[in-house]
Amino acid sequence: MYAQMIKSEATQEDPEKLAAFQARIDAGEKIEPKDWMPQGYRKTLIRQIGQHAHSEIVGQLPEGNWITRAPTLERKAILLAKVQDEAGHGLYLYCAAETLGVTRDELTEMLLDGRMKYSSIFNYPTLTWADMGAVGWLVDGAAIMNQVPLQRTSFGPYSRAMIRICKEESFHQRQGYDIMMKMANGTPAQKKMAQDALNRFWYPSLMMFGPSDKESVHSEQSMAWKIKMNTNDELRQKFVDQTVPQAEYLGLTVPDENLKWNEETGHYDFSQPDWSEFFDVLKGNGPCNRERLAARNKAWDDGKWVRDGLLAHAEKKAARRVAAE
Amino acid sequence: MTRDMAFFEFLLRMGDNTLVLGHRVSEWCGHAPVLEEDIALANTALDLIGQTQMWLGLAGEVEGQGRSADDLAMLRDAWDFRNVLLAEQPNGDFGQTMMRQYLFDQAHVLLLEKLAGSSDERVAAIAAKSVKEVAYHVERSRDTVIGLGDGTSESHRRMQAALDLLWPYAGEMFTDDEVSGIMAGEGIAPEPSSLRAAWDAAVQQTMSEATLVIPDSDFAHAGGKTGFRHTEHLGHMLTQMQWLQRAYPGARW
C-alpha cells in the first residue's frame, strides 16, 4: 500500500450536484477528468495519487541499493527491470494526477520539500540480498493487496493506471518470493539472511496498511467516493492470512509470538505493529528518511542543468524551424 | 596464439565492454535528472547486461573449461577483464555519462553491423539481436549529446569538458593487435581500425551539431582490452559487483 493516512477533504458544494455525483459512483460509472467533481474529491485524489507516485519514485532507492551488488547477471537484469517498472509506474501515476490539474513538477517540489509524503516502508534500509526477496514478497505483496481493489476505483485515469500497474506488481512479488525460496533453501548463511530479512520487514509491512481506521470519518468519505475500497484492517488481515502460509512453506518464522490460526474467525490472530514507530517514521525519524529525501533532492538539484539544457535546445530547434519556414 | 584462444579473447572484449558499461549505467538507477532518463538509463543497462549474458556465455563455451557467464563476470580479477578503458570510466555528471555512452555506442553500432555478417553463426546471431538495441542507444545518446551541447551555456561547458576528458579513451576502440588479426583472418570480426573512418565521420557530424569541438589530439590510452593496465576505477567496481559471490563461495542465488 503506497498511500497512507490520506486525509480526505470535506466538501461544501451544491447538494444536488453532490447527490448526482454520488449516484454516478454508486452506479459504478467512472469519473473522467473533464466531468464535474467535488473539490474534496479532486483534492483527496491528488493527495492519494501523488503520494502513490512518490512512493514509486522513492521506492526505487532501497532496491537500487542492490543493483550494483546483485549476485548473478540474471538477478541483476531482473532487479533492473523491476526498478525500471517502478519508475514507469511513477510516470503513469503522475500523468493520472496531472489530469486533475496539478503538474508533475509541482508534485515533485512538494515531495522534495516535505509537504507531501511517500510510503513509510521506503524509509527502512535494505541490508542484505535477502532484503531484495523480502521487499518483493512482503512490500509488493502488501501493495498488491491494496492496488487490486483500486483497479475498480471511481476515477477513470487512476483505475486504468492501477490495471497496468497490478500486472507488473504480481511479477514483482513472484520474483521476490523466488529470491526467498533460493535463500531459504540455500546455505546456512543464506537461510539466516532470509530469516533476518523477514524479522526486519514483517512489522513495517503490516504498517503499510496504516493504523486502524474504524473510527475515521475521512475514511468513510473516501470509501463512499470509491477512492478507498477497503478498510486498513481488512487489508492487513488479508495480507497476514495470505503471507503466513507462504512463510511456513519457506521454513521461516514470522516474528510474532501471538500469531495463531483462529478456527472461529477463520483468520490468523496476530500482534499489531508498534504504532509509535510508524508515527515516528512519518515524522521523519525512520532509519532512512534523511537519506531517501536527500538522494531525491540531490538527483533533482544535480539534474537542473540537464533539464534546462534540453529545454533550451528544444526552444532553439523550434525557433530555427520557424525561421526556416 | 591459437584461433580458439583469440576467439575467447575477442568474446571477452565484447562481453566485458557490455558488462562494465552496463554496470556503470546501472549505478544511476533512481538518481537521474528526470524520470524519463531514469527509465531510459535502466533500459540501456538492461540491454547491455542481456548482451553480456550472450557474449560471456559464448566465451565460456568457446573456452571449454565449464565456466558460465556468471563465473566469468563474478570470479575474474581486474587483469582478466578485457573491456576498453572508456567503459570503466566513472559516471561523473550526467553529461559525462552520456558522452561516454555516445562515443561507445557509435563504435558499438558500427561493429555490430559488421558482426551480423560474421562467419561464426553464433556471433552473427548475437550481433543481429544486439544491433537493434544499440541502434536505439546511439540514437538516444547522440540526441542527448546534441541537446546538451547546444543547450544553455552551462550545459555546453559541461559537455565540452566531458568530451575533453573522455576523448583520450576513444582511440583504444580502434587499435588492431594479434587477436583482432586472427579474428579478421577467420572472417569472425573486422579489424577495429577498419571502423575508424565511419566512426570519425559520425562523431564529427554529431559534435558539429552539438557545437562541441573535438580535441586536436590523437593520443589514446591503452591497456583495457589487452588487460595489461586497467585504470584504478575497475577494481573498485569489481569489489562491489563481485561481493556476494566472493563472500559466499559456492552459494546459489
User: Is B242 a residue whose pLDDT tops 80?
Assistant: yes
A178 part of contact set with chain B, CB < 8 Å: no
What is the tens place of the pLDDT at every residue in A131-178? 999 999 999 999 999 899 999 999 999 999 999 999 888 889 899 999
Check residue A217 and give its pLDDT. Answer: 65
Q: Which residue in B19, B21, B29 has the most chain A C-beta atoms within 10 A of its own C-beta, making it the best mutation to test that interface?
A: B29
Place of cell 569489489: B239
Distance of alpha carbon A104 from alpha carbon A97, whole angstroms = 8
A88 part of contact set with chain B, CB < 8 Å: yes
Place of cell 508498534: A274
A129 part of contact set with chain B, CB < 8 Å: yes
Per-residue H/E/C for chain B:
CCHHHHHHHHHHHHHHHHHHHHHHHHCCCCCCCCHHHHHHHHHHHHHHHHHHHHHHHHHHHHHCCCCCHHHHHHCCCHHHCCCCHHHHCCCCCHHHHHHHHHHHHHHHHHHHHHHCCCCCHHHHHHHHHHHHHHHHHHHHHHHHHHHHHCCCHHHHHHHHHHHHHHHHHCHHHHCCCHHHHHHHHCCCCCCHHHHHHHHHHHHHHHHHHCCCCCCCCCCCCCCCCCCCCCCHHHHHHHHHHCHHHHHCCCCCC
Mean pLDDT on A251-272: 98
Q: Percent of chain A, pLDDT > 90? A: 89
Higher pLDDT, B68 or A4: B68
Instruction: For B28, name the nearest residue in chain A, comparing CA atoms only.
Output: A64
Check residue A214 and give its pLDDT. Answer: 79
Residue B84 forms part of a structural domain: yes
User: Is B111 a residue whose pLDDT tops 90?
Assistant: yes
Residue B201 forms part of a structural domain: yes
Instruction: For B241, name the nearest residue in chain A, comparing CA atoms only.
Output: A69
Give A215's pLDDT tier (boundaries 50, 70, 90): low
Check residue A12 and give its pLDDT. Answer: 75
What is the tens place of the pLDDT at every residue in A174-205? 999 999 999 999 999 999 999 999 999 999 99
Length of chain B: 253
What is the tens place of the pLDDT at every residue in B152-191? 999 999 999 999 999 999 999 999 999 999 999 999 999 9
Residue B253 forms part of a structural domain: no
Question: CB–CB of B248 and A61 under 8 A?
Answer: no
Check residue A10 and give its pLDDT. Answer: 65
Residue B126 forms part of a structural domain: yes
Check residue A242 and give its pLDDT. Answer: 97
How many distinct structural domains can be found in chain B? 1
User: Is B252 a residue whose pLDDT tops 90?
Assistant: yes
Check residue A11 and give its pLDDT. Answer: 66
What is the tens place of the pLDDT at every residue in B71-99? 999 999 999 999 999 999 999 999 999 99
DSSP 8-state secondary structure symbol assigned to residue A186: S
Mean pLDDT on A77-82: 96
Residues spanned by the domain of B214 = 3-247
Residue B30 forms part of a structural domain: yes
- What distance in Å separates residue B172's CA from the closest CA in chain A? 26
B35 part of contact set with chain A, CB < 8 Å: yes
Residue B159: C-alpha distances to residues B35, B102, B216 (Å): 21, 12, 16
What is the tens place of the pLDDT at every residue in A22-53? 999 999 999 999 999 999 999 999 999 999 99
Residues 247-306 of A with CB under 8 A from B: 295, 298-300, 302-306
Q: Which residue in A56, A65, A72 has the most chain B C-beta atoms within 10 A of its own C-beta, making it the best mutation to test that interface?
A: A72
Read off the CATH number of the domain in which B56 is found. Answer: 1.20.1260.10
Residue B127 forms part of a structural domain: yes
What is the tens place of the pLDDT at every residue in B192-214? 999 999 999 999 999 999 999 99
User: Is A107 a residue whose pLDDT tops 70?
Assistant: yes
User: Is A1 a residue whose pLDDT tops 60?
Assistant: no
Q: Percent of chain A, pLDDT > 70? A: 98
User: Is B102 a residue whose pLDDT tops 80?
Assistant: yes
Check residue B52 and give its pLDDT. Answer: 98
Rounded to the nearest integer, the mean pLDDT of chain A is: 94
- What distance in Å separates residue B31's CA from the closest CA in chain A? 5
Whole-prediction pTM = 0.95
Mean pLDDT on A104-115: 96
Check residue A175 and give its pLDDT. Answer: 93
Give A243's pLDDT tier (boundaries 50, 70, 90): very high
Q: Residue B47: CB partners within 8 Å, gap ≥ 6? A: B22, B130, B133, B134, B137
